[in-house]
Structure 1
């Protein structure tokens, strides 16, 4: 007996000297171990929480959406890999952790509880949050102040579980923002399930969202899970939510209120734990006034609204986006580098971009189909793009004429890099005289 007691003390001593926090509880969520690092990270002392229900100590649930013991009557399903989460300490401070959970089994190899290890990643999170001058975040490109504020908002929302309504014109990147919120949050180990609500007729949309049972309708030859079931413990993204019918709005509202759904053709209820992100290009408040959208559903979806800026409202990001798309597509196609001429960039900066970032990406792809040299020029642009310019450009023989401001920092930087800083070759590539390039470089010593 003395040897067993000593062995236990030794094990506890080892665990107490780990940098990672350790918490363990039984199948009834009763905590039976809490090491010294866990005390430091959470602010709780082991004497005050050992023997208590984990959910009682941590009302917001320590494991957040990944908790496998919310329903004590069902078999727990543990996350397969570490996942990020944010917790509130005893003093109310927010800490960002990385959590791993494994099952404890007894001598019969039956589940007896869980042990979770967690690392405090708050410092790393804060350092990442301070990189507001970075050119991209979570796959979203931009250094305009509006985009930096958007990056901060995404980080804040990732630490929460509230519903978010993302608004903005078509092509502004609403799904990218939704995916970033999911991947930066505690549900990242679950699925991100997008649904384009505007692309499906009502009868198909109901089956797509909630699933169906065999024989529910012609062609239903087997049971099928809906998107909400697939997104259990993850995130569902309802794109073009403003296009669904009022009848479908009622059915969706019930799922959002109660977390319960019924497959088409079935009376059985299924409980789901899903974070809901939605998006629309419509003004839903106007739709509510017109009687086309339910006000109660709007408030369920729009706990936090985000409005994405149109590309024309962050024009300084256009060279950055164009360069990024160009580099990515060239790499995909295995082609040598191409430079966008100053004239092309001037046209980009003057364009209104009604299709926003998606339109810019398509224009870059068109250029790469037409341009087989080293320099993309205006005649490589789509015909409808040139026709849609907001103001006439001085041209001779269909070429944009040189102007004093025809050079820009990005184009010159690319030309110098491509020519290994040979200014004569760079001027020739840019289509300007050496004197013009030298004057420009004098004004931009950072080059």
Structure 2
């Protein structure tokens, strides 16, 4: 015999569904669990219903109305809804079972007279008893349970995770595929708020349920997201969301399918390479290594220290780490420690209470409190005075801080990402920076290369910025001549990407009329640069890494063209690249 659970449900569970449960327990097979519950349970049983059931030899005097959540059942296989009209709205039930509706006249429709209620309930009891008998004896229940079992098998064996939640974000279905993808069990998530289960939110910025007063209106949503799975693995998911509607097309919730795209994304990255990640442009091995570090940090909530020269994009990397982390739904609060007046550093970071110093006319939250639940980015952290370093160390050790003028510790949940353009180790040796704080901040170090060490990224950056700036200014179609690009690649860019960005903004304005950036448009310090690539003479000449990288960048990673620029054969260039795999040659050869 098929095993399963049948739920009889009505509005208040004080009469109708309790009657159905009592009759069903007399005729249902022993392997079928029979229960009843109410959508909005009453405080007590209907006395008239208790009297009516006594005439059938059933004592319901000790029974109490209950909600579905009180039953402790994670999945029902069949729901029988006893309603007064065919239009009554029914909430989704755990397990997403088939729902049969029995429309039966309710006693409360005839007023409060006990005699009238009893007569109506007598008629209802007779109808319910007959329907219950047919349900179990005519094979209907077995057919529904068989359908549910087979449907579950289909859902559990497709290579997708399926979950569904109601209008209040309460999850009522969680497939085996969803369990495998997330590492969570159905028992641990069913009945809980989707936003509490998935931290950060699975929906990210695509949520339609943050405003409970607005009914979502959409036919289908598709988006990609990243979740940290409980086993510490990063999952790249493609999510498809469709609404759940009842028979009257009323919105009841959503069902979402989760497709694990992690293997495909990984293969595509290896095969095609990456030109950008989270707004950071680059395809050299050094930058791809940075991209991978950011991804790896997504599942670890530890302090990170980013080092690099001014203008290398340290804040962009910090924002990318935040965006990829479990804190991405929380705030990202940046602060430049070097720009703070020494007397206000502690107040800005940790806040102050009213009257703590002259001018403190009210309580003020510091950056730590503003970043609660998210990430605090401390740029130029080496500029912090010793007093602030002590308080920062205490926070990293204990997770608490004290506002200026207060002796009451405050707990704040913040991840610290710091950045510096100085060598913190040397600052420690000089006694300027605390060694214990250095080790607390430098749990995961990320070093950003200067632009002069990744010249093959310059054409990518130039094209990216030119396209963005020209679109912003309404001047489309601006290009850079080959000769101008040669000069841009040859320049050393002491101000790194920030300097390049500023120069390109100037060039977009200069080239607006002719639509092409030429050498004449370049600033003098770049225009006067020698861009010739030394060609090796005779057999004693050797290729060197910088020369090869410059030639590849000038040739747009076309190896045949780069070989001609270098004055060597393609085979010679190929042999050199095989011996120097650290050189990013731009993927497959372009003829």
Q: Same fold (TM over 0.5)?
A: yes
Which of structures 1 and 2 has the larger relative contact order (alpha carbons within 8 angstroms, sep 6+)? Answer: 1
Q: How does 1:280-429 map to 2 (within 5 A)?
A: 280-371=420-511, 372-386=513-527, 389=529, 408-409=554-555
140, 146, 150: which one aligns with 2:290: 150
Q: CA deviation at 1:65?
A: 7.5
Q: CA deviation at 1:153?
A: 1.1
Q: CA deviation at 1:140?
A: 0.6
Contact 1:342 1:406 survives alignment (8 Å): no
Measure, in 2, the Cα distance between the counterparts of 1:379 and 1:411.
Answer: 25
Cα pair distance change 1:293/1:407, threshold 3 Å: closer
Cα pair distance change 1:118/1:150, threshold 3 Å: farther
1:14 equivalent in structure 2: 96
Contact 2:510 2:521 survives alignment (8 Å): yes
Cα pair distance change 1:348/1:192, threshold 3 Å: same
Contact 2:487 2:526 survives alignment (8 Å): no
Q: CA deviation at 1:41?
A: 4.0
Contact 2:298 2:321 survives alignment (8 Å): yes
Measure, in 2, the Cα distance between the counterparts of 1:224 and 1:146.
Answer: 42
Cα pair distance change 1:351/1:127, threshold 3 Å: same
Alignment RMSD (CA, Å): 4.0
Once the two structures are superposed, residues 387-418 of structure 1 have per-residue CA deviations (whole angstroms, 9 ceiling, x without a partner) of 6x37899xxxxxxxxxxx89955599xxxxxx
1:419 equivalent in structure 2: none
Residue 5, structure 1, aligned to residue 145, structure 2: no
Measure, in 2, the Cα distance between the counterparts of 1:407 and 1:246.
Answer: 46
Contact 2:162 2:174 survives alignment (8 Å): no
Contact 1:20 1:37 survives alignment (8 Å): yes
1:135 equivalent in structure 2: 275
1:416 equivalent in structure 2: none
Q: Which runs of 5+ in 2 are unaligned?
A: 1-17, 22-33, 38-67, 69-75, 79-92, 98-147, 156-160, 166-171, 202-208, 212-222, 240-254, 534-550, 559-587
How many residues align? The count is 359
Cα pair distance change 1:384/1:86, threshold 3 Å: same
Name whichever of 128-137 and 139-148 sits farther off: 128-137
Contact 1:240 1:279 survives alignment (8 Å): yes
2:246 equivalent in structure 1: none
Once the two structures are superposed, residues 289-310 of structure 1 have per-residue CA deviations (whole angstroms, 9 ceiling, x without a partner) of 1111111111111111000111
SS where residue 493 of structure 2 aligns?
coil
SS where residue 14 of structure 1 aligns?
coil
Q: CA deviation at 1:33?
A: 10
Q: CA deviation at 1:39?
A: 4.2
323, 331, 335: which one aligns with 1:195: 335
Contact 1:137 1:151 survives alignment (8 Å): yes
Contact 1:22 1:37 survives alignment (8 Å): no
Q: CA deviation at 1:251?
A: 0.9
261, 268, 271: which one aligns with 1:124: 261
237, 254, 259: which one aligns with 2:394: 254
Contact 1:343 1:406 survives alignment (8 Å): no
Q: Which runs of 5+ in 1 are unaligned?
A: 24-31, 55-60, 67-78, 100-116, 394-404, 413-443
Contact 1:342 1:407 survives alignment (8 Å): no
Residue 225, structure 1, aligned to residue 225, structure 2: no
Contact 1:344 1:378 survives alignment (8 Å): yes
SS where residue 306 of structure 2 aligns?
strand
**Which 4+ runs in 1 deviate beyond 6 A?**
32-35, 44-47, 96-99, 390-393
Cα pair distance change 1:22/1:302, threshold 3 Å: farther
